[in-house]
Structures are given as structure tokens and as C-alpha cells.
Homo-oligomer: A and B are copies of this chain.
């Protein structure tokens, strides 16, 4: 799957991923109204609004981008109905040949991580049959529990040709509280990064590993160090746009070959119509605003990479 992801990044010339994190207040009135008319102001209604919103954005952008990253929390908040919309979204994006990165940040003790890995990336056994649960192509994983919480995910990735992005340095303001603590003079996130690099070397696609890392765009200096520490790991970079990261901050996340990083924007793309820069589209044409925002993001990052 890492080979497919890189192939698609090269074809689209767009090292970006659209975060499908649909808060209800991002979804234009007319979509919400239609969904509520059909299903009432219910969890089903919310799930329908989310699904229609996602579908429109995917339809308007899928030819420009290699991948999407649905954040499962935004679906899970609506319970089982929300998770049905998550599954529908994953299915639809895969039909459109997009690589789907499930932003699930799971991680537990071994046998439990195995269940998550099976449910999100693998196949679960039921009697004599097997089934795919949510079947994303990549998943994000939390490393706090150490190797035996991560290895079951790696095992399933190997079998199913899927991939991981392991949290190393997250984009949020307080990520440093534990991640930046110095261990023998070096921050904890470097230790985690070294471990990711080690797993990565043992699990290679053609030119990059299918065991990648998450490093926030909001910490460009740390991105520079981590890029060198994990030369064969793809870095998923959240925090661009709404969280404050800019194209110029991102160059050090990439290798000299122009590869090695994929930058996520969620709100900045899916709720673009709410920004002044895209206000002319109006909420009726929110999906066109999203398409334009994708183009602008690609240009911003390309220019930054060309100017380095």
C-alpha cells in the first residue's frame, strides 16, 4: 500500500491528504436540512448529513489527491450510526481509488491491539469465514504501550499489505508535556522516532517503509531532526492550515527526492467555504470551494519545495 500511496502522490504531484473530519457545524445548512427532513434530528440524520457532505467533497477533489484521512472520532461521537457513515466513507473513497488513512490512534496491550488491527486493517474470523470490518488502507497508532502494542498492527500490515503511521510528535500545543521530556539528554519523541525507524527498516515497500510516523506541521524544527532519524519512513504531517502550519514550514519533512511526507489538511479543505478567501463560492457550492482550497494547498507546498 505504501507503493500505491507513493505512486499516487507522484501521479497527482500532490503530497497531500484531505482530512474528512466532518463536524456538523462545517456542514452547510442545505445538506443538514435535507438529511433531517428525511431522518429527523436524529443520529441517523446526522450520519446522513455527514455522508452526503463527504461524498460531495470526495467527488469534487478525488482526481487531485492521492489520499483521504477520515478521523474516526468525528463519526464515533454519533455512536453506531456515525460509524456506519465512517464505513460508507471508507468504501466510497476506495471505490474512487483513493488511499484511506484511518485516523484511529488506537493502541493497547498485545491481544487487544491485535483485535484493533484485525478490525481496521485485516480480516476477522467468524466460524469458517473471514470478514473485513472497517478495512482502511493505513491506520494511525499510539505508541505509549511500547512494542507489544504496536507489533500486532505491523503483523497484520505485513499480511494484508497495509501500513501504519505511528504517533511520534503530535501537532497540538501540549504535545510537549510528555513527548518532549528529555531522556538521557534527548526528547522522548526521538526515542519513539528511532523505534519507528527500526520497525520501518524491517518492513519495506519498494523505496519507503510501510511503517510511517506522525509528526505535526506545527513543529518544523523537530520535523527536520525526525526526517533524518527516520529516512525510510513516510511522515504523515497534520496541523497544516487551520492549526497554523504553512507550506514553508513543511520543506524539512520531505527528503531530497521530494518524497517522504504527506501533509494533511482537514478544516482548511472541507470547511473552505467558511473562509474569507473562498467566500465567493457560497455554502451552496461548498465542494467547489474545497476543490479550490486543494489546488491552493498543492501550489503552496510545491512552491515551498521548489524554493528550498
- Which residues of chain A have a CB within 8 Å of any CB of chain B? 21, 23-24, 32, 36, 41-43, 45-46, 71, 73-74, 76-80, 82-84, 87, 105-113, 115-116, 118-120, 124-129, 131-134, 142-149, 167, 170-179, 181-184, 188, 191-192, 195, 238, 243
Contacts and interface: CB of A to CB of B under 8 A. Distances in A.
Given A82-B133, A148-B173, 16 more contacts: A41-B127, A42-B126, A42-B131, A74-B115, A76-B133, A78-B133, A79-B87, A80-B83, A105-B106, A105-B107, A109-B243, A143-B178, A144-B179, A145-B167, A183-B183, A188-B188
Q: Which of A87, A108, A118, A143 has the most CB atoms of chain B within a 10 A radius of its CB?
A: A108
Contacts of A106: 73, 105
Contacts of A176: 146
A108 B105 contact: yes
Contacts of A238: 109
- Count this chain's copies in the assembly: 2
Contact of A146 (B78, B112, B177, B183): B177
A91 to B, nearest CB: 12
Instruction: Rank and list the top 7 A-B pairs by shortest CB-CB distance, nearest first.
Output: A79-B133, A146-B177, A41-B127, A146-B174, A77-B119, A109-B172, A73-B115
13 contacts: A71-B112, A73-B119, A77-B116, A78-B119, A79-B119, A79-B134, A107-B142, A109-B172, A142-B142, A144-B144, A144-B167, A178-B188, A181-B181
A76 B127 contact: no
Contacts of A105: 106-108, 142
A126 B178 contact: no
B45 A127 contact: yes
A36 B71 CA distance: 33
Contacts of A116: 73, 76-77
Nearest to A118: B77
Given A83-B83, A146-B179, A149-B174, A77 B36 contact: no
A43 B76 contact: no
Contacts of A73: 106, 108, 112-113, 115-116, 119
B77 A124 contact: yes
A147 B131 CA distance: 38
A170 B142 CA distance: 13
Contact of A128 (B41, B108, B126, B134): B41
A147 B107 CA distance: 19
Contact of A24 (B126, B132, B188): B126
Contacts of A74: 112, 115
A191 B181 contact: yes
